[in-house]
Amino acid sequence: MKDFYYTISSHSAAEIKVMKSKFISEAFPISRSTDTAILIIEFKKKYYDASHFPFAYRTGIHTDNFRFSDDGEPSGSAGKPLLEAIDKNNLTDIILVTARYFGGIKLGVGGLRRAFFASGEACLEKADIVKKYIMQSVKAEFDYSYINSIMKLIEREKINILKNESGNRCVLTLEIRESRYEKLILKMSDLTNGTVTFLKH
């Protein structure tokens, strides 16, 4: 199971024109806790005189948590193409919102689909796309006699030490990529002859 994903590091925006209609797309990094409704409301305030405000977002890596809206445009002509732009770039934890200014020429459903997709694509082309890893943390407690071996392991495996609460015994809170978590547990158990204790966070 992969333990990484791609998202954007910061806000990006782009504007295109298609047959006199103007499309302004903006992308924002989000998480499951982001209040997307407030974000969309603020976007609408910014472009208050636009005709429609379709959007699409996706969050998470092992789930299909997504949503899109045409916001009054013909069904399937706006929100879904924005989601397709997100998926084409293999992105998650992102929202794309577009403001459309009608230019007087009807584009038809097919024309709208192509225009919204192109607007989303233009926005993502300007975005800073980053690779992020899913991390797992664990608290490990072990005797000081194993500290040298454990520290060598930590350095070799590029494990992050989040907290050091050592007293009579070594107590370290460690962070490692999710895909390497089980191997870390086994290696630390081997190095301490099975005496290390773990508390998963």
Asked if 56 and 33 sit in the same domain, the reply is: yes
Domain count, the chain: 2
pLDDT tens, position by position, for the chain (201 residues)? 678 999 999 999 999 999 999 999 999 999 888 889 999 999 999 999 999 999 999 998 866 789 999 998 999 999 999 999 999 999 999 999 999 999 888 888 999 999 999 999 999 999 999 999 988 999 999 999 999 999 999 999 889 999 999 888 999 999 999 889 999 999 999 999 999 999 876
Residues 77 and 127 occupy one common structural domain: yes
Find out whether 47 and 143 touch, Cβ atoms under 8 Å: no
Query: Do residues 91 and 181 both lie within one domain?
Result: no
Please say which residue of 87, 104, 131 terminates a domain.
131
Burial class from Cβ neighbours inside 10 Å (0-12, 13-18, 19+) for residue 115 reads buried
pLDDT reported for residue 1: 64
Let me know: does 171 contact 162? Beta carbons within 8 Å: no
CATH (domain of 67): 3.30.230.30
Enter the pTM of the model: 0.80
Interval 83-134: pLDDT, tens: 999 999 999 999 999 999 998 888 889 999 999 999 999 999 999 999 999 8
